[in-house]
Structure 1
C-alpha cells in the first residue's frame, strides 16, 4: 500500500451498492449496501463462502450482469466517475482499458479457436489503437513479462497447449495489456496447485508494484488473503459484516462468522504428536470459537492389504511422442488407512486412481484388489471388484445426472448390481443420506437444488451405497469453501472410523492432507519420489520437490507475510517423451522405518 493511499482519492469507490435479480416473486436483493474503496498500489480482499456475494460485487462493478434481469443501485466511482451512469460505449473502453479483470477459470476465459497471441493483441488494438504488427510485438513483451517461456515461439499456439498455470499467466497478460488503474481478480488461484499459486501471487505483487495498480482480490482462501491483502472485507449471505486492515481482522476478528471462518482454516504443523489423522476443529456456531478435533483411531496393520499396486505404468501415445503419465508406481493400502497421493496437476495422481479401478487401462504392472488382479479381470470380475472400490470425483455436479433425482442417482448402483429391490433400496438411500448429514426427504430433489458441499455429500453417499472396502477420493474437497471443506473432511474421517474404510486420498492441498493421512506419497512427473508416514513426510521431507510443495503452502498469518522463500518460476517439465525413450529404473533409500525417498540420478 502506498504512503499516500489514505489521503489521495481512491481509484475505486463503491458506495451503498445493492444488486437485485428479477424472480417470479419480484426483485430479490443478493448483495445489500456494500461500501468499499481501493487506492492506487493497495490490495483489498473480499472474502466469504460461495453464495456470499463476492463475485456479484465484482460483476456489478464491471456492469457485466444481464440487463433487464438485474438491477444495481448505489454508486460505483472509478477515479471519481460514476460507472452506473456511463453509457455502454463508455463501459467498453473501461473494461480491459482502465479496469482489467481476471476470472477464476482461465480455460473458459480464453477462446479455444483463436491463438494466444491473437487474443492478447485484440485488446491492444481495441484500447491502445496499435496496428496488428505493433500489437504482436507488444504481446510478446507482455508474455515475457508474465514469464511465459519461449514467448515468441508460443505466440501462435492455442489455449489447449498451455498448462493451467501458463493459461492463468496469459489471462493476467490480457488483463494488464492496457496498463489498467484497477485490477479485479476473481478467485484467480483457486483452481491452481499450491506451487503454481505461489508463482501467480508473486507475479501479481511484482506487477502491482511496477504499475502502482489498485487490486480488488476476491477469494475464499484465507491463506492467500494473509499473504497479499492490505485490507479485508468479509461478506456473508450478501451483507458486508466486517472490514478493516488484514492484520487486525486476523488478530482480533469481531464478527462470529469471521471467527468461524478463521478457525476452520487447515494449518500446517498443527498435528502435534498425533500418529493418526485428526478431525478438523469443531467451531461453536454461537461464538465462532474452535476446539481442535480429536485424533482418530490408529490403523491396525494387517497382513493382507485391501489394495496392492506394483510397478504400475500408464502411457498415452501422441502423434509425435508418448506421455509417460504414470511410471513404475508401487504402494499398498490397508483396511482403515488413508494414503494420500500429492503433487501438481499433471503429475499422474488422478491417472493412478482411475487406472486402479480400470477407468483407464494400465500399460504395465499389477493392481490387486481383495486378492484379485484387476489388470487381468474380465467384465464379470470387474463388476465384483467395483462393489469393493468406489471413487468420489472433484466436481460433484459433473458426476451427477442433472435429469434424475439424487435418490435415484444413489440407488442406481444398488439396482444395477441387483443387491436389493426398489423398496429396500429406497430405505437404504434414506439411511445413506442421513449418514452423510442430509435429511432423507432430500432424495426427491435434483442436483441443481443443492449447494456444492451438499452435492459432495451426495457423491459420498453414492460411493457408500455398495458397502465398498476402499474409496478413491480424487480432489474430493479441493473446490469447497474452507468451512465446508472442514465439514466434508470430518465426515470422511467419521465414516472411515465407523465402516473401516480405506481411502486413497488424491489432493494438492497439503494442509488438508496433513490432517487426513496415515501415510503420504509424493508424485512428480508420474513417479513416486517420496513415500512414508504422515509425520515423517511433513516433519522430515527429504526430496527437494516435497520441500517445494510444503514451502509453497500459504501461511494464514499476515505477520509472517514475506517470510516464505521466493517461488520457483520455471514451468514443470513435460511428461511427453520420444517413442524410443526407456525410463531409468529408480532406486529408493529408507530414511526411517517406512519412509522412502527416490535416489536422484544425474
Structure 2
C-alpha cells in the first residue's frame, strides 16, 4: 500500500543575519497506513521543525522549506495557502507539547472543539456541540457533559491533553502528528495518554507521526523509528531492530543514557551513568559511587510532622474560604553523604516540602532540625547563616540566573555577600567552581544565554556549591534536560557527593532516574508520605498501592512490550483544596522491613 505521508529530501532553513542556515537537511522517510513512526532526538535535532514543516506552520518571512512532502500523493509544499488550511485539521492534525498554550484560556473547551467542527465540517452550532461531546467521551474525559462548558484552567495537564486529542480527531484525519505530547506530564498521566493514542489509532485507523526524546516512549508506541542528530537522520528502521542492534554511535549514546527500571537490582549504592562518545560509540563502564553515608552520626536533617498549608481567600472581606493542604504531617531524616529521593506526581507536595525545609515558604506546623538546630526558631540573621549550609537547585536553570549578569558575577555574589572572600579571591574561587562542574574558567565572562541547557544547570550546581553547603535540595534539577545531558549532570552530582560528602534531597517524578541515584526513597501522594524506605526495598517490594501504580506506569525501553495493554485509567489527581474547618484523618504506619515504612491504605485506595 502507498504511504500516507512521504517526506523526500526535506531541507528546512532559517535566515539568520541574512544567511540561510539549514536546521533539517535532506530528510526522507515514509509513514504507512495505520503505522506509527517515531522521530527521536535531543533538543535542536530538528524533530519539531520537521513537524512544523509538514504542517507548513513556519513563518514564511524567515524560513525556507525545500524537497517534497507528499500526503497521499499530494505535495503539500505546492498547495496554495487556502488549500493548505483545508488540509490542516481535515487530513493532518497536530498535538503540541504544552496543551495550556494551545488552548484559548478565555473560551470553554467545548466551544473550542465545536469551533473546529463548524469551520472544517460545516456543522451548525448544535450539531457541532453534540459531536464535540461525543469526542470528549471518545477520549475518556470523565463526566464529559458536566465538564463541556469549563475553561482550560479547570483541567489537569493530562485532561487538557485529552481535549487537544479530541480537537485533533474532530475531522477524522488520516495522519496525526504528536509533538512531544507527554513530555510535560507525570509518569502515570503519560501512560494514560500513550494508551489513549494507541487505542484511538486502532479505532480510527489513522497513521501517527510521534515526536519525542524519550526512548522509553519510543519503545512503547512506535513501529518504526527515525533517529535525528543536528538536522540529519542518522538511523532509521523497525523499532525493535534499532533497539536491538543500533548502528549509529548517536543511537547507541541515546539508548545507553536511558535508565532502565530494575537495572539496579542487587546493587547497594547509587551508580554512575555510562558515558558514550557520540562520534565513536565507545562507552565507559558505569561504576558504583563510593559509600559516603555517615550512618553512625546524628542525621544532618530531621523533619518531624511537617505541615504546610496555603490559605485561599475570597469575598469582600477577604475571608479564608479554603486551604491548600500542600504538605501534611511529613517526617523523614537525611544523613550526610546520603540521597533521599522524594517522588510523586505534580501537586503531591514534593517541591513545597523542599521549599519549606529552606523556609522559602513558611511551614504551618512541625519541626525541622538541621545540624541539630531548629530552623523554625532562627531569626533573620541566624537563618541567613544557616542557609550557607543548605542550598537549592531549581528546575529551570535559565530562570534561576540573572540574564543581565555574567555567570562569573552570579557565582561570586554569594561568596562576597556572605563575606567569605574579597573580590580577587572570589574570582579565584569562581574559576575553581567552574572547573569542578566541568566548565572552563574563561566562561565566567559569558552571559546565561550563551550556554546550553545542560551547561546552565552545571552553573546552578556551581552556584549551589559556592558556599560549601552540606545539604542540597535538588528540585527536578534534571527533568528539563535531554537524556544524554541529564546523564552527564547526574554523574557530576554523584561525583560531587562522593568528593564532598553532600546530602541530597532529590525531588523528582522520574522513577527510573531516582532508582539510579538514591539511597532511600519517600513516595508522596496528596501531601503525605505513603511509603519510605531503602531504594532496594521500595523497588523490589513496593507495598502501597500508589507506589505500585507509579512503578507500573514507567515506560520501559523494550519494544517487545509494545503489544502490552495497561488498560486505560481515567483517574485525575485529586485536589488538595479543603474547607477551612477540615481536619486531616490520623494516619497509621507499619514497618514491613527495617527502615521500610508504609502508610496503612485507607478507603480511597480500596476503591482505586
| TM-score normalised to structure 2 length | 0.95
**2:264 paired residue number:** 271
Please give the residue correspondences for 1:238-387 in structure 2 after superposition, counting only pairs within 5 Å: 238-285=231-278, 287-298=280-291, 299-318=293-312, 319=314, 320-387=321-388
2:167 to 150, 171, 174: 174
Q: Structure 2: how far apart are the matches of 1:286 and 1:184? A: 30
Aligned to 1:53: 46
Cα distance in 1, alignment partners of residues 364 and 353 from structure 2: 11
Q: In the alignment, what sits opposite 1:421?
A: 422
Determine the structure 2 residue equivalent to 1:15. 8
**Equivalents in 1 of 2:306, 2:558: separation in Å?**
41
1:591 partner SS: strand
Aligned position for 1:3: none
- Counterpart of 2:528 in structure 1 is 527
1:506 is matched with which residue? 507
Query: How many pairs were matched up?
Result: 595
The residue aligned with 2:226 is 233
1: CA distance, partners of 2:441 / 2:407: 11
Unaligned runs of 5+ in 1: 1-7
Whether contact under 8 Å (1:312, 1:326) holds in the other structure is: yes
Q: Is the 8 A contact 2:52 2:58 kept in 1?
A: yes
Structure 1 counterpart of 2:413: 412
Q: Is the 8 A contact 1:263 1:288 kept in 2?
A: no
> Contact 1:190–1:479 (CA<8 Å) still a contact in 2?
no
Q: Which residue of 2 aligns with 1:132?
A: 125
Residues 551-585 of structure 1, C-alpha deviation per residue, up to 9 Å, x if partnerless?
11111010122346335331122222222221111
Which residue in 1 is equivalent to 2:135?
142
Paired residue for 1:601? 602
Contact 2:187/2:554 (CA < 8 Å) preserved in 1?
A: yes
CA deviation string 1:208-259 (max 9, x = no partner) = 1111111110011000000110000011111111101101111111111111
Q: 1:154 aligns with which of 142, 147, 157?
A: 147
Q: How far is the alpha carbon of 1:377 from its aligned partner?
A: 2.4
CA deviations on 1:403-458 (whole Å, 9 max, x unpaired) are 22222222222222222222222221111111111111112222222111111111
The offset of 1:325, in angstroms, is 1.1
Counterparts of 1:455-534 in structure 2, within 5 Å, are 455-534=456-535
**Closer, same or farther: CA 32–560 of 1 in aligned 2, 3 Å:** same
Relative to the length of structure 1, the TM-score reads 0.96
Tell me the distance in 2 between the aligned counterparts of 1:563 and 1:179.
Answer: 26
- Which of 116, 119, 130 aligns to 1:123? It is 116
Equivalence for 1:4: none
Structure 2 CA distance for partners of 1:520 and 1:460, relative to 1, 3 Å: same
Residues 313-367 of structure 1: CA deviation (Å, up to 9, x unaligned)? 1112224432211110000111000000001111111111111111111111111
> Quick check: 2:141–2:570 contact (8 Å CA) kept in 1?
no
User: Given that residues 322 and 578 in structure 2 are in contact (C-alpha distance below 8 angstroms), is that contact kept between their aligned partners in structure 1?
Assistant: yes
1:37 equivalent in structure 2: 30
**Preserved CA contact (<8 Å) 1:195 1:567:** no
Equivalent residue number for residue 539 of structure 1: 540
Aligned position for 1:196: 189
Q: Is the 8 A contact 2:8 2:28 kept in 1?
A: yes
Kindly state the Cα deviation for residue 290 of structure 1 after the two structures are TM-superposed: 3.6
SS in 2 for 1:387: coil
Structure 1 residue 390 displacement after superposition: 0.9
Deviation, 1:120, is 1.6
Q: Which residue of 1 aligns with 2:606?
A: none
**d(CA) in 1 for partners of 2:415, 2:531:** 38
- Counterpart position of 1:109: 102
Structure 1 stretch displaced more, 370-379 or 218-227: 370-379
The offset of 1:289, in angstroms, is 4.4
**Structure 2 CA distance for aligned equivalents of residues 377 and 119 of structure 1:** 52
In structure 1, distance between residues paired with 2:381 and 2:125 = 61
1:127-160 CA distance string (max 9 Å, x none): 1112222222222222222122122222222222
For 1:164 and 1:198, locate their aligned partners in 2 and report how far apart those are by CA, in whole Å.
13
In structure 1, C-alpha distance between the alignment counterparts of 2:153 and 2:387, rounded to whole Å: 33
State which drifts further: 153-162 or 287-296.
287-296
Deviation, structure 1 residue 376: 2.8
Contact 1:16 1:34 in 2 (8 A): yes
- Greater mean deviation of Cα atoms: 129-138 or 542-551: 129-138
Partner of 1:5: none
Q: Distance in 2 between matches of 1:202 and 1:260?
A: 27
Distance 1:414 1:97 in 2: 59
CA contact (8 A) 1:165 1:196 kept: yes
Q: Aligned residue for 1:100?
A: 93
Where 1:202 maps in the other structure, the secondary structure is: helix
Q: Contact 2:265 / 2:536 at 8 angstroms: preserved in 1?
A: no
Distance in 2 between residues matched to 1:416 and 1:119, nearest whole Å: 52
- Partners of 1:490 and 1:198 lie apart in 2 by 28
Change (3 A) 1:17 1:277: same
Change (3 A) 1:290 1:562: farther
| Displacement of 1:286 | 5.0
Q: Is contact 2:308-2:365 (8 Å) kept?
A: yes
Compare 545-554 and 444-453 and name the one that shifted more.
444-453
- Unmatched tracts of structure 2, length 5 or more: 315-320, 604-608
